Amino acid sequence: MSAREKLKEAMTMRDQLEAEGKVVPESKVGEKRVVVGNKVLKVAKIILAHIQPIDGRGKAEVEDGVNKVNALLREKAITDNTIPWHTTVEIGKASQDDESKWTISKIGEDCTKQEVLTTVIEYLTAVFGDKGDMLNAWMDDEKLVRMLMPAAPSKVARGRRDIGKKLREENKDMKTGHRFPKLWGGARTKGLTFDAADHTEAKKLVEKGVMWEGVRRQGQMMDTNKMGEFTHSPLPQKKEEKKEKIGEKKTSVQVKTNTTNNNNKG
């Protein structure tokens, strides 16, 4: 059965269930658990990156997509004889206006993150795939730290996938998230934003910088609650070294160079 046929069947099934008025009592416990009847179930969040910022029409399509994904989840539950998962969605704002966050609840304790991600991506693709609006999707990770690399011009025009590929090629030991890097600063591009895997990796990138087109550039942590503000000062600009006077000891430039080149392998 094709994805479209599954979707049509699931929508019919949804209408039948709603007509029967079957309701199971449930209550939320924190951000990661929900109690349905006498079962404690999990909650997961998946980020869907869209090709373009979500405008008014795009928002309506996403909200309509929620109903279609939930219909597919109900069909899956009947096949598996389990409690159906349920999803809600939030549209990103400001610099995240090209993302939607999907909260999936009522997940069984024995279900892995990968199983949830694989299933939801399959259904999101069935709903949005033919519109060509999906860039990629990943499980939301609270450990990720949004980074900014300012003053990072590009010699050639690149899409987000190509930018991500080049960034990885020039920083092979850098640990990042699944969000593709993107240009920052509006019409007048001021840099790139990307995710560091965690605060340890972010600290390393702040201290040593990030390679881009053969030049080591500043790395800064961004405050995701106030996108555009920074939680760390940029690296100090290097000034021209003064010539050493006779009798003076050498500076610590060599030590700094060794530190820069001694990349941690993870």
Q: What residue numbers bound the domain in which 161 lies?
A: 145-237
Domain boundary among the residues 112, 139, 166 is at 139
Same domain, 101 and 198: no
- pTM of the full predicted structure? 0.71
Same domain flag for 223 and 170: yes
Nearest CA to 59 out of 133, 135, 139, 160 is that of: 133
Q: Provide the pLDDT for residue 133.
A: 79
Are residues 131 and 37 located together in one domain of the fold? yes
Q: Over the stretch 76-120, which tens digit does the pLDDT of each residue have? A: 999 999 889 999 999 988 778 899 999 999 999 899 999 999 999
DSSP 238: P
Q: Is residue 249 part of a domain?
A: no
Q: Are both 131 and 173 inside the same structural domain?
A: no
Q: How many CB atoms lie within 10 A of CB 189?
A: 13
Residue-wise pLDDT for 131-173, tens only, equals: 777 889 999 988 999 999 887 667 766 788 999 999 999 999 9
Whether 18 and 131 map to the same domain: the answer is: yes
Based on the domain organization, do 114 and 50 belong to the same domain?
yes
Residues 45 and 168 in one domain: no
Domain membership flag for residue 91: yes
- Run of H or E including 216: strand 215-217
3-class DSSP assignment, residue 170: helix
**What CATH number is given to the structural domain containing 222?**
3.30.70
Mean pLDDT (whole number) for 209-230: 74
Count: domains in the chain? 2
The CATH number that applies at residue 41 is: 3.30.300
Identify whether 245 is part of a domain.
no
**What's the 3-state SS for 146-183?**
EEEEECCCCCCCCCHHHHHHHHHHHCCCCCECCCCCEE
Query: What is the average pLDDT across 112-129?
Result: 91
